[in-house]
Structure 1
């Protein structure tokens, strides 16, 4: 099965990135419902899935289960990891005494904010289609890695409960290594997010933002399964890439879709942000634009007007010809050089956050403009310690 990899491979990959620990154990959890059995008395609460007990016998009291589908037709379970981290994979232990087929039809997603109240588009991690044996533990890789605080496992349109005996989440604070002054592609396998992601249910294809930085240049949208696309109805579709550190960006190269729809790669601004766009308002530094006429499957390089300092790449379609004029990209490569601590701290003299808040009428009366930039400087210093 494509979505299930052996545990040894996942552990080896996690160890190489210092991600060997389970960051979900005994963390706060929640779920859409909880199954309660009267005889013998048993409450299959959400916290049992992260208690460190891998006993797969349901009636031993260490497995989570949602209520029956009549009461909860779209069950979900989530864990709060406590802070924003990188998530490299999720390992699930199936029920062992019966009902193995319940661990199927699952989608695993990562949120910045609580999924019970958030309206954000989550980052896609992986799926479980089925075929997990009684009591078996399967490891699923988020490829590429994603970032967030909450991991959610959902089972839409369920015909039976969502039942899991243990969940292990691998990840943590990522410390990138820099092998040269001019890395070839600093966006490869970096976390990516978007304002929307296209789903092609007939082929189980989710055109998630991570596919734009997976190193796969196959430009066939369906068969290649390596292109990102926004959805119809997203009027300002935007893709964000977190480079994980601060660089002077010199160029951004985009690979166009090759099987059809080449004309969609048009009316696009490529910008560079210093601050996390999901936490701070900031005017991006414009690297360049893509106006159109890029051949199907071809690469198009936007050379920045001048090397711009930043950590986040913002690729946004600024206008649409019709509802089918989606933001569709098969790969994004970013070239730049690593910026030193002093180079980044010298940029704090700019007031992008303050100007953006004023422009958007977002400045509370009791908060000084400089407070927002000071908050970012504090976050930056913490990030830098994590990178070191």
Structure 2
């Protein structure tokens, strides 16, 4: 009875996080090694992680584990989805009888080809740094959504085996309505500007805005040289990203600094704009907020209150504890899909958009009145 209640709760969590069908259930799997030992004797094969059994008692016979780290210091597990698919996220169920800390230090990646033989650079989905309790399930989002046939979970430079009791992968086929408008990172390598940038002369480092969208997730501020930071003395630090076209924005994911100062990722508003904020006055639309408590080096996804059409992303620190409470972002990913001009000016899609377009001189007030009456006009 307890198991049925827990399973029902898991399904509710998955639905609440907008995860789709489990495309990994009973699919072929592989791993770098398998634990074979114990009292009573047990073989913790890789397929046990996708058998649909959420029993978190390791000796219940439904959990995968790699061999001891002396034998396998860089363990990994993977599942073959059978074909190239969209992968939106996954859930991992931790071991419940002991050793909760083993579900930590993980990288989740997606490959087109078998990761045991492929030389490709995988697409990054998410990571698990730690903090998953005994027997608990953690939900992870690939933001932006990624594509591939193989999902790999690896634990580099491990100090303990990789142990997973169940993996649920969410996603779908290319040809169904779930993927009609697949989300991508529309901020990658786009122009970025900021109210200030931090300069560290001793390390010959300039933490410029473009580092926040360069595709490099290294969270070590000095050695990684891929994090943006505002300057000391900037009392209203703000980063702007120009997406280059109109997109429907559904979420924004930021990567926190990993070497220190994790507490700086707090009191932040993420907003969207239609026009260049350096040239036009416009009231931004709020996507969401970050209040704090984001772990060092972790990703944090803000799901917009409602998908909104925009070209510019604004990330602003709304209050500061002291002059050293800087705006620091090691990577910013924006999830969205292209919005055509007719969609942007369509009242049925977003009435506020056409009004803002008119207010900023993109379309005339006549066109706005037509839109408010249900007409469609393209933006010149």
TM (normalized to structure 1)? 0.48
TM (normalized to structure 2)? 0.49
